[in-house]
A and B are shown apart, each in its own frame.
Chain A
Amino acid sequence: QKEVEQDPGPLSVPEGAIVSLNCTYSNSAFQYFMWYRQYSRKGPELLMYTYSSGNKEDGRFTAQVDKSSKYISLFIRDSQPSDSATYLCAMNSDSSASKIIFGSGTRLSIRP
């Protein structure tokens, strides 16, 4: 079993819809959780960075962490075609820990 599980998709939704992307993990030591966005033929870029349980909002994006269930989510409101990309979750146990574990990524397509 992988330490971090993420549905690869693809996920296709109409423009304006709310998107929910999720990851589950098995290591209870994970405390720092990240979401990266990767456009085709580009490197991943950091979207959201959260610590421990709770919610964090940034514009149309909300990251949610439920440590009791070992489950994290990224919500995108009012989705736009420019949000079409692959979204990778990532996590580690210590902010300075270099062993950051990535999910396999979910490919998202927003239909105009």
Chain B
Amino acid sequence: DAGVIQSPRHEVTEMGQEVTLRCKPISGHNSLFWYRQTMMRGLELLIYFNNNVPIDDSGMPEDRFSAKMPNASFSTLKIQPSEPRDSAVYFCASRTGGSPLHFGNGTRLTVT
């Protein structure tokens, strides 16, 4: 079991640039979650998908954020345009049914 795979591990970009974060969930898991973690706000749920369909995106901070899940094995989180306050660690997690979440190792985003 390879676990949840996220890429890139680190991303440094300039304000105004587009950022795309990628996630491959555990095979067979039908729910995928995107979280953001900062010192100030802790772990915040941004959006989650069930069977590739977005169910709740109420945590997405602004229209600059968008997420897609074109198939069961891939999801992207895009920020366009990026701002310094978007700097955080972004985690992807997956699960099936009521099982606990399995997290990836995150993407550390720095926007200068």
Contact = CB atoms under 8 A, between A and B. Distances in A.
A104 B102 CA distance: 18
A94 B105 CA distance: 26
A106 B106 CA distance: 19
B48 A43 contact: no
Interface SS of B by simple majority: strand
Given A34-B100, A45-B103, A46-B100, A100 B42 contact: no
A43 B100 contact: no
Interface residues on B, range: 20 to 34
B92 to A, nearest CB: 9
Contacts of A104: 41-43
Contacts of B48: 98
A42 B4 CA distance: 12
Contacts of B41: 104
Interface in B57-79: none
A94 B42 CA distance: 22
A9 B42 CA distance: 13
Contacts of B43: 44, 88, 102, 104-105
Given A34-B100, A42-B105, A43-B103, 4 more contacts: A41-B105, A98-B48, A102-B42, A104-B43
